[in-house]
Structure 1
Amino acid sequence: MGHTQNELIHAYPSKLGLDSTFIYQKVDSIMLLGIKEQAFPGAQLLVAKNDTVVFHQAYGFHTYDSLQPVALNDLYDLASVTKVLGPLPALMKLVDEGKLDLDKPFSTYWKPWRNRKDKKDLTLREILSHQAGLIPYIVFLQKVIKNGKLKSRFVRTTPHKRFEKQVYDNLYINRRFERKMHRIINRSKVSNEKKYLYSGLSFLIFPTLIEQLTQTDYQTYLNNNFYKPLGCHTLGYLPSLKQWVNPIVPTENDTLFRKTVVNGWVHDENASLMGGVSGNAGLFGTADDLAKMMLFYQNFGAANGRQLISKETFREFTAVQYPKNKNRRGLGFDKPLLNNSELPFEEAYPSPLASPTSFGHSGFTGTLVWADPENKLVFIFLSNRVYPSRDHRNLYDLNIRTALMDVFYRA
């Protein structure tokens, strides 16, 4: 790769031997169906083949009132895609440097777990592959709302000496609340049954762990080690406090907490209560930024001729960890279903043609990133399917993401 990876190269699909007409017709019809069936008000798809962007199109509007068309440089709330683009690269680098060991008890690094009988022996390998028995989710919002009202000792409408973390327009959280969240996670139950159960809990504490191990602010560490070197100019937390000019796509009309359509601030309540900076959610980015990250991943940790994460570490993180346990996950990364190639189209994930070496992650707001090193394909799908509410599940029911991926495998 002679060129610097900071600028993406674009080419027509036909230049890379793909059937252009087939691609445009199919993708257009899938996207228009999605909009018609209210799977999402708008969406965009970016696909790269061999490090070259061969497709990037936007469809529909930010909302169903059709006022603002989706643009290619819009910022999206990435939801759980944050897990693989935020804490994960940092954890990989720390494993590389020998500052973290996947098979030592996690309590070696996270001290509060040392005296918790059910947690002291859990390893980072078990935690990252969702095999540790941690509960999936804790609704921390219950701790700040009583009878429909926000508790003023945790949330205020104006900044104050202990309330400097902004979580929304005119909402500020007590800085002690994050410690309270950590304590609740530290005390949470662990199941004796070690089987695959997706849990976002540990991702709420990873930013603090990363700060402790690197002696650097979490956001600064990500910017200096990954986002800046890769040229991801608008990938980051708290976009509303940054000087970015890109329009931000709204997510859900929140009737409980923020009492308005959430826009420009993280949708996930737990990340919001962390002040918008968390490992489970909170990142915003453009399709281009995500493509740069996923191409870096597709090249096993290499960018601009430099190995930012060693190939060995990268291969380990993207491999299935517990195949005998009916667990398809890598370390932090999602993977295709174990018997994926044998499944009918409707049951396959993310597509029956995705290779077993492929990996990625999806997000609750209607986002998906996926890289397939074997076929040299990168997929970035961005939508706000939770607009105006999370009951909109047609994105899943109509198998839209699988259908879109399929088009490019078949082209």
Structure 2
Amino acid sequence: MSPASIIDQAFAPAAQSIAHGNIPGAVLGIVTADGQRAVCWKGMAQIEPHEESLARETWFDLASLTKVIFTTTAILKLVEEGRIALDDPLVKAIPDLRQYDMNAAERRLTFRQCLAHQTHLPAVEPLYTYGQNPDTLRAFVLQREWRSGPPVYSDINFILLGIAIERITGKPLSDQPLPEHFSFNPEPRLCAATERCAWRGRVIRGEVHDENAFALGGASGHAGLFGTIDGVLDFAHGLLDGKILLPQSLNAVRTHESEKRTVGWEGFYPGWHGGDGCSPTTIGHTGFTGTGLWLDFKRGLAWSLLTNRVHPSRHKDSGIMDLRRATGERVIALFEGRD
């Protein structure tokens, strides 16, 4: 079945979630390896302090989709250019990492380990509570003796990778080249609102929701990227048809480094956020603000569900996990003519 023939039915779980008041709005996009695409949207880009309708052109805070769309791809491009290798230690790019202790565990971390979240670093740290000077916070990240623990999904991994990209390229993340329909500095009036932030004292719109990314200057390796549904679908199509990454890099993002993780992405596992109908060759990732992207390479199919589920507050049960799973299972069933 073509994306155009299934998009309305595939959007039904999101439409129901909007109708029940679980999320303000959503946009669903589907694209195939041969370039067919379809998009459906409904609901509000903002409900506070005043209402504004969502459109196909609405920009979303992609949150942790930054990790896969920007950071992972940028690192793999640097590998393809021969400037680093995946198994090089981060100190090849950041020689001052833990520079006061040459035996520090952080100095042995590799690009591959950080990309696949196979490090001892913690999941998250409230860096923004230490101040808002981006240079000082970067120095803090580099020199802190991080508490050791088992491998977990860690924002710190990708903050370090973002610093590495800046060091290798000589450009801050905010000045890195981006494809059309992506930006670290979007026009606020074009964006979906996120949270009424207690720390910043306002509804967040057009500036990154993630507090640490905001304190680091708005662009970080773990969050800060904004994009439209068509930008995300362009990226997905480029991975499906092999035009964004060389075969060796594409193989890296498709190969499990652990039960759940590949290089940069999550790989399919039973019960995951993409739905159990996905083939074992599926990779995906989600973002805290309510975003997500999945690519089923066996079927030559990708879909993205972008929502503003944290607007006006993250402190509610939006049912986003169930919505993501229901959407993925419905997309696949309709695509195969089973629904």
Q: Under a length normalisation based on structure 1, what TM-score does the superposition of the two structures give?
A: 0.74
Q: Which amino acid aligns with 2:182?
A: L
Answer whether contact 1:76 1:285 (CA < 8 A) is retained.
yes
1:111 CA displacement:
1.2
Q: Which residue of 2 aligns with 1:261?
A: 203
Find the partner of 2:117 among 130, 154, 159. Answer: 130
1:247 aligns with 2:199: no
Q: CA RMSD in A?
A: 2.3
Check whether the contact 2:74–2:165 (CA below 8 A) recurs between aligned residues.
Answer: yes
Matched, 1:409 2:332: yes
Q: Which amino acid aligns with 1:127?
A: C
Which residue does the alignment assign to 1:314? 250
Aligned residue type for 1:251: T
From 84, 89, 98, the equivalent of 2:82 is 98
Q: Within 5 A, what are the aligned runs for 1:223-372?
A: 223=178, 227=179, 232=180, 234-240=181-187, 247-256=190-199, 258-300=200-242, 302=243, 308-322=244-258, 327-337=259-269, 340=270, 347-372=271-296
1:190 Cα shift? 4.3
What is the total number of aligned residue pairs between the two structures?
Answer: 330
Indicate how the Cα distance of structure 1 residues 124 and 213 shifts in structure 2: closer, same or farther if over 3 A, else same.
same
Matched AA of 1:369:
L
Equivalent-residue separation in structure 2 for 1:388 and 1:200 (angstroms): 23
Q: 2:301 aligns with which of 368, 377, 383?
A: 377
SS in 1 for 2:11: helix
Does structure 1 conserve the Cα–Cα contact (< 8 Å) formed by 2:173 and 2:220?
no
The alignment partner of 1:51 has SS state of: coil
Percent identity of the aligned residues? 27
User: Which of the pair has more CA radius of gyration?
Assistant: 1
- Match for residue 157 of structure 2 among 192, 202, 205: 202
Q: 1:333 to 1:311 in 2, by over 3 A?
A: same
- Corresponding position of 1:148: none
How far is the alpha carbon of 1:216 from its aligned partner?
4.2
1:19, CA displacement in angstroms? 9.3
**Which amino acid in the other structure matches residue 121 of structure 1?**
R
Q: Distance in 1 between matches of 2:187 and 2:45?
A: 17
Deviation at 1:184, TM superposition (A): 3.5
Q: Distance in 1 between matches of 2:329 and 2:223?
A: 28
1:86 is aligned to 2:43: no
Q: Deviations over 1:45-94 (max 9, x none)?
A: 00112333443111111234783221000001111101111222110011
Aligned counterparts of 1:236 and 1:393: Cα–Cα separation in 2: 29
1:268 aligned partner, one-letter code = D
Shift of 1:318: 2.5
**1:56 corresponds to which residue?**
39
Judged with a 3 Å threshold, the aligned counterparts in structure 2 of structure 1 residues 252 and 202 are, in CA distance, closer, same or farther, namely: same
SS at match of 2:31: strand
**Which letter does structure 2 place at the counterpart of 1:102?**
L
Aligned CA distance change for structure 1 residues 189 and 271 (closer, same or farther; 3 Å): same
1:74–1:247 Cα contact (<8 Å) kept: yes
Q: Match for residue 7 of structure 1?
A: none
Does the residue aligned with 1:52 lie in a helix, a strand or coil?
Answer: coil
Q: 2:290–2:307: 8 Å Cα contact kept in structure 1?
A: yes
Distance 2:7 2:191 in 1: 27
SS of the aligned residue for 1:369 comes to strand
Q: How far 1:394 sits from its partner (Å)?
A: 2.3
> CA distance change for structure 1 residues 250 and 129 in 2, over 3 Å: closer, same or farther?
same
